[in-house]
Structure 1
Amino acid sequence: MYDIFDDEIDEMYENKGKAGIKLGKGISPKDPLESLTQEKFIVLNEQATLQEAIINIQKYPIGCVLLENNQYISGIFTERDIVQKIVGKRYNLDEECIANYMTKNPDVLHLQDPIAFALNKMISGGYRHIPIVDENKIPIGVIAMQDIINSLGDYFFDDIVNLPPTPLRDQTQREGG
């Protein structure tokens, strides 16, 4: 007897193992943020210009710059800030101070805080980057939503890679009750 899912199952088995094996370290929402791989981060003085911030965001694919005043975090400036506050306006980027456009006093976390806490703050706050500070409140990094997604993607690599790029057929009716 022919099962309607035989084609998809056959395709999945044909592609199995073609992408190579990548073993990721398992992460749990209870694990500390230090268990995630962190990208580089940029810290600028809050008196820097918009031009300096935008150049750094373009140069390094990190999505944000941290802003400091006397070594302490005073704000964060992200790609979203550029789109919502800068694009389409006729600002002189070399003269405008970033302090006027940054998100002031952002939530911060410590490396020992759990991943779940970072996710909760990101989802409830509607942002994708959280500065990480040490016990003296000096910036030591940034955790991005993408860092968490990448770690999950590494751990579930085989499950994700072995999926067909698109299902062979669309579901036409709802399953179950």
Structure 2
Amino acid sequence: MAERTVFQSIPKRVILSLSSHATVWEAACAMTRANFSSVLVMDPPDKLLGIVTERDLTTRVLARALDPKQTTLAQVMTPNPLCVTPQTKVSDAVLMMIERGFRHLPIVGPDRKVMGVFSVRDALPREVDAALSQTEFNEQVNDALG
């Protein structure tokens, strides 16, 4: 069975984005309405500046007792997020996420147009297993070389 690409795996091809000047409160409301776990930060509407996730809202806003109505996305976003192409295999994307400790990857076409967001939740168990196996292999190689 051919492995799916990240673009094939995403159920929602709608992109949720806000300006860097939008507040955390506005982002949380938009994410709740859309049932999304992340929002892309874009200025002007076609340039990707960063990403804000549910986890960011917890660790960078709530845990620091910041006022969500006064805090802008520019203050809490992950700037210049790692992106993948639509042709990236799901297991390769999951491997990147495991190794780097995040759960969302913007999908960007050759023209730098954002085409969606891949979430680890979009991966099938067999694709996660393939990524975990590769992670274990990489660790063994690093141990042998180190």
Q: Please give the range of the TM-score, normalised by the shorter of the 2 chains.
A: 0.7 to 0.9
In structure 1, stretches of 5+ residues that fail to align are 1-25, 153-177
Unaligned runs of 5+ in 2: 128-146
1:128 and 1:110 map into 2 onto residues whose CA distance is 16
2:124 partner SS: helix
- Alpha-carbon distance in 2 for matches of 1:145, 1:35: 14
Q: Among 27, 33, 37, which residue is 2:6 paired with?
A: 33
1:104 equivalenced with 2:57 (yes/no)? no
TM-score normalised to structure 2 length: 0.76
Identical-residue share of aligned pairs (%): 25
Match of 1:82? 57
Give the 3-state SS of the residue equivalent to 1:143 in structure 2: strand
1:131 aligns to 2:106 (yes or no): yes
Pair 1:45 & 2:45 matched: no
Aligned to 1:91: 66
Deviations 1:36-62 (A, max 9, x none): 133233011111111111111222222
Secondary structure (helix, strand or coil) at the match of 1:76 reads strand
Greater radius of gyration (CA)? 1
For 2:2 and 2:57, the matched residues in 1 are separated by 32
Partner of residue 115 from structure 1, selected from 78, 81, 90? 90
SS at match of 1:87: helix
Q: Deviations over 1:67-121 (max 9, x none)?
A: 1123221110000001101114443322221101011111001111111221111
Calculate the aligned-residue CA RMSD, in Å.
Answer: 2.2
Alpha-carbon separation, structure 2, partners of 1:143 and 1:73: 15
Contact 1:27 1:151 in 2 (8 A): no
Regions of 4+ moved over 6 Å = none
Contact 1:75–1:102 (8 Å) recurs in 2 = yes
C-alpha separation between the residues in 2 aligned to 1:109 and 1:37? 13
2:31 to 51, 57, 68: 57
Please give the alpha-carbon distance, in whole angstroms, between the structure 1 residues aligned to 2:79 and 2:19. 13
Query: Match of 1:73?
Result: 48
